[in-house]
């Protein structure tokens, strides 16, 4: 990638206003492109009241559209992404000559392609997941015959995804699983697909100097293993299965503690499940964990558990645990086997059901009960993250892809 390119990143949600895997990938990518001398404008949706229309954060010029109040109306955020973003995107396209456009979310990218004609600047979209498919799954989880959101936006989401994937010059996927998922839904995009795995911030996520002291600081038990997971509290994350499995694990490891970080509409049901199993003293719900505190929980934990039941397109949380020197074990769902099997096949559960989770956790906890083996595994986890998932490798690949695509389109001016 030539120096000082003008880059437009199109998001729906973004850090620091919203935290999530897609937002993390976009933020890490854009901050590193800025550090390499490129200029980045990022367009995203206003999700908090009182935030300015424009501000510079971590070297990225952020532009917000829409109203924070939209999130309180059914489908309000989607409508804002499709409509309120268009004047802003049109103005930015008129006043800037971008060398490359990097979308991460469908709806605002759809607004862009409906507003701005195709230009010599390549458009390289990152496919994180199919929102259309997630709508179908999460609607079914809520046990509604015709969930309102799916009814209103399901078909629209599919049309939007088709249009975005047709317009994009290249489509980046983070994993083989995402490539297969994309191929099964939208085979026409296959020739455009390029795999560039995500990364992890190796400076922010690193092993603890004193894990026992860190446990005390966080108010966690100093004796017994601490199992940690960080998830949205919705059914497809598999947390109910995890709680059921942990009840059995607790019989063999009565001093074990399970820490669940995150928030979501399933929280009250999970708390009731924990209480009904007599685990209220052994399962901790932290709620939302601030960005600055999250690495501390990874470092303090003895084992990170990823119990996903569906749609794990990449698994940033898995890499964050490994970079922190904490072994991670996950279900054979999505990209998790791609991340964990090369490190140790035992770190992938045999299935996503409670029985498989119980067997897998007991096996790894037994492994970790040997102090020397546990220390060796923690060291391997960190080294594995360093060797395979540092962000520099991903940014090098993205820069090469941008160079190649610019050349194919005849060269975009900066």
Look at residue 1 and tell me if it is in a domain: no
Instruction: Identify the pLDDT of residue 414.
Output: 42
Provide the 3-class DSSP secondary structure of residue 208: coil
Look at residue 142 and tell me if it is in a domain: yes
Asked if residue 372 and residue 223 are part of one domain, the reply reads yes
- For 112-145, how does the pLDDT look when each residue is reduced to its tens digit (9 = 90+)? 999 998 888 999 999 998 877 776 665 544 444 3
Range of the domain at 70: 6-199+390-408
Instruction: Identify the pLDDT of residue 144.
Output: 42
Asked if residue 379 and residue 279 are part of one domain, the reply reads yes
Q: How many helices (H) and strands (E) does the chain have?
A: 16, 13
Instruction: Identify the pLDDT of residue 113.
Output: 95
Instruction: Identify the pLDDT of residue 169.
Output: 97
- For 153-162, how does the pLDDT look when each residue is reduced to its tens digit (9 = 90+)? 667 788 899 9
Asked if residue 155 and residue 193 are part of one domain, the reply reads yes
Look at residue 204 and tell me if it is in a domain: no
Instruction: Identify the pLDDT of residue 412.
Output: 46
Look at residue 205 and tell me if it is in a domain: no
Quote the tokens at residue 250: 């607790």
Asked if residue 184 and residue 82 are part of one domain, the reply reads yes
Which CATH number belongs to the domain containing residue 258 in this structure? 3.40.50.2000
Asked if residue 293 and residue 187 are part of one domain, the reply reads no
Asked if residue 395 and residue 342 are part of one domain, the reply reads no
Intervals of the chain under pLDDT 70: 1-3, 72-75, 135-154, 411-414
Listing DSSP states for 346-384 in one string gives: GGB-S-SSHHHHHHHHHHHHHHHTSHHHHHHHHHHHHHH
Asked if residue 164 and residue 148 are part of one domain, the reply reads yes
Asked if residue 255 and residue 175 are part of one domain, the reply reads no
Look at residue 275 and tell me if it is in a domain: yes
Asked if residue 143 and residue 39 are part of one domain, the reply reads yes
Asked if residue 127 and residue 21 are part of one domain, the reply reads yes
Q: Cα dist. 137→62, 126, 134, 173, 212 in Å? A: 32, 21, 5, 21, 40
Residue 84 contacts residue 64 (beta carbons within 8 Å): no
In this structure, the number of other CB atoms found within 10 A of the CB of residue 353 comes to: 15
Instruction: Identify the pLDDT of residue 80.
Output: 83
Look at residue 206 and tell me if it is in a domain: no
Asked if residue 355 and residue 303 are part of one domain, the reply reads yes
Number of domains in the chain: 2
Which pTM does this prediction carry? Answer: 0.89
Asked if residue 174 and residue 254 are part of one domain, the reply reads no
């Amino acid at each position: 990638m030539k120096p000082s390119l003008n880059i437009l990143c199109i998001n729906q949600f973004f850090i620091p206003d919203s935290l999530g895997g897609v937002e993390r990938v976009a933020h890490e990518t854009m901050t590193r492109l800025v550090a390499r001398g490129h200029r980045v404008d990022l367009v995203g949706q206003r999700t908090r009241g009182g935030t300015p229309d424009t501000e510079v954060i971590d070297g990225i010029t952020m532009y917000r559209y829409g109203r924070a109040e939209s999130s309180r109306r059914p489908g309000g955020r989607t409508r804002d992404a499709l409509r309120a973003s268009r004047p802003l995107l049109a103005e930015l396209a008129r006043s800037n000559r971008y060398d490359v456009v990097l979308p991460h979310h469908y709806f605002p990218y759809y607004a862009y392609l409906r507003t701005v004609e195709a230009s010599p600047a390549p458009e390289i979209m990152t496919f994180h997941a199919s929102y259309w498919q997630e709508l179908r799954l999460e609607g079914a989880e809520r046990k509604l015959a015709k969930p309102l959101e799916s009814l209103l936006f399901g078909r629209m989401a599919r049309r939007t995804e088709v249009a975005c994937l047709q317009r994009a010059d290249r489509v980046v996927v983070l994993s083989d699983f995402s490539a297969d998922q994309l191929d099964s839904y939208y085979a026409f995009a296959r020739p455009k697909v390029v795999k560039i795995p995500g990364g992890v911030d190796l400076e922010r996520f690193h092993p603890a100097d004193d894990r026992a002291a860190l446990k005390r600081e966080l108010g966690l038990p100093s004796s017994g293993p601490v199992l940690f997971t960080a998830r949205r509290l919705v059914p497809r994350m598999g947390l109910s299965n995890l709680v059921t499995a942990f009840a059995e694990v607790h019989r063999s490891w009565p001093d074990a503690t399970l820490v669940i970080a995150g928030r979501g509409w399933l929280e009250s049901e999970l708390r009731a499940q924990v209480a009904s199993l007599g685990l209220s003293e052994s399962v901790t719900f932290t709620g939302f964990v601030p960005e600055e505190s999250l690495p501390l929980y990874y470092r303090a934990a003895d084992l990170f558990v990823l119990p996903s039941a569906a749609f794990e397109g990449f698994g940033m949380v898995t890499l964050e645990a490994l970079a922190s020197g904490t072994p991670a074990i996950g279900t054979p769902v999505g990209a998790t086997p791609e991340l964990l099997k090369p490190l140790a096949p035992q770190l992938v559960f045999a299935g996503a059901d409670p029985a498989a989770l119980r067997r897998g956790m007991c096996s790894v906890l037994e492994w970790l009960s040997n102090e020397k083996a546990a220390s060796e595994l923690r060291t391997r986890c960190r080294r594995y993250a360093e060797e395979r998932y540092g962000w520099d490798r991903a940014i090098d690949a993205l820069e090469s892809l941008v160079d190649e695509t610019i050349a194919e389109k005849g060269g975009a001016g900066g």
